[in-house]
Amino acid sequence: MQDQNKNMILAIALSMAVIFGWAILFPQEDSQPALSSQLEALPEGAFTPPVNVGGSNTPPVLAGEQPAPSTATPAPATVGEAGRIDIRTVELSGSISLLGGRIDDLHLTEYNVNLGDESEKVILMSPTDSNAPYYAVWGWAGTAAGNGGGTPNATTLWELESGITLTSRTPITLKWNNGAGLTFRRTISVDDQYMFDIAQSVENTTGQTVRLAPYGIIARHGEPDTAGFYLLHEGVVRASDGEIEELNYDDMPDFDVVPGDGPVEIINVQENGWVGFTDKYWMATLIPQPGQAFTSVAKYTPATDTYQTDMRLPPLDVASGETATMNTSLFAGAKVVKTIKAYEAERGIDRFIDSIDWGWFYFITKPMQGLLAWVYGIVGNMGFAIIGLTLLVKLLLFPLAYKSAVSMAKMKKLQPEMVKLKERFGDDRQKLQKETMAFYKKEKVNPAAGCLPILVQIPIFFALYKVLFVSIEMRHAPFIGWIKDLSAPDPSSWINLFGLLPYDVSWAPQLLSIGLFPVLMGITMWMQQKLNPAPTEKTQAMILAWMPWVFMFMLGGFASGLVIYWVANNTITFIQQYLIMLSQGVKPDVFGNILSGFKNFKKKKDD
d(CA 436, CA 322): 89
Q: What is the DSSP letter of 88?
A: E
E strands present in 402-448 = none
| Selection from 161, 160, 141, 138 nearest residue 150 by Cα | 141
d(CA 279, CA 132): 14
* Rounded alpha-carbon distances, angstroms, from residue 530 to 58, 450, 524, 570: 73, 15, 10, 12
CATH class of the 34-359 domain in this structure: mainly beta
| Selection from 486, 480, 481 nearest residue 464 by Cα | 486
Q: Which of 89-93, 243-247, 539-543 is predicted least confidently? A: 539-543
Do residues 601 and 425 touch, judged by C-beta distance below 8 A?
A: no
The H or E element containing residue 369 is helix 362-379
Q: Which of 39-43, 88-92, 307-311, 320-324 is predicted least confidently? A: 39-43
Domain boundaries, the chain: 4-19+365-606, 34-359
One-letter amino acid for residue 400 of the chain? L
Is 231 or 358 the better-scoring residue by pLDDT?
358
Which pLDDT score is estimated for 544?
Answer: 78
Structure confidence by residue, pLDDT tens digits, 78-137 = 666 679 999 999 999 999 999 999 999 999 999 999 888 888 999 999 999 999 999 999
pLDDT band at residue 540, thresholds of 50, 70 and 90? confident
512 has a pLDDT exceeding 90: no
d(CA 19, CA 55): 47
Q: How many CB atoms lie under 10 A from the CB of residue 228?
A: 7
d(CA 283, CA 332): 6
Under 8 Å CB-to-CB from 438, ≥6 apart: which residues? none
Q: How many CB atoms lie under 10 A from the CB of residue 278?
A: 21
Q: HEC string of 509-572? A: CCCCCCCHHHHHHHHHHHHHHHCCCCCCCHHHHHHHHHHHHHHHHHHHHCCHHHHHHHHHHHHH
Which pLDDT score is estimated for 63?
Answer: 43
Which pLDDT score is estimated for 196?
Answer: 98
d(CA 576, CA 401): 8
* Rounded alpha-carbon distances, angstroms, from residue 452 to 11, 12, 250, 364, 544: 8, 11, 40, 17, 19
d(CA 556, CA 545): 18
The H or E element containing residue 591 is helix 590-606
Q: What is the DSSP letter of 404?
A: H
Q: What is the DSSP letter of 126?
A: B
Helices 382-396 and 398-413 pack at an angle, to 10 degrees, of 70
d(CA 408, CA 448): 10
d(CA 120, CA 488): 19
d(CA 405, CA 152): 71
Do residues 563 and 555 touch, judged by C-beta distance below 8 A?
A: yes
Which pLDDT score is estimated for 50?
Answer: 44
Work out the percent of the chain whose per-residue pLDDT is above 70: 78
Is 580 or 308 the better-scoring residue by pLDDT?
308
Work out the percent of the chain whose per-residue pLDDT is above 90: 48
Q: Which of 137-146, 207-216, 387-396 is predicted least confidently? A: 137-146
Structure confidence by residue, pLDDT tens digits, 10-30 = 444 444 444 344 333 333 333
Which pLDDT score is estimated for 344?
Answer: 97
Q: Mean of the pLDDT values across residues 379-405?
A: 87
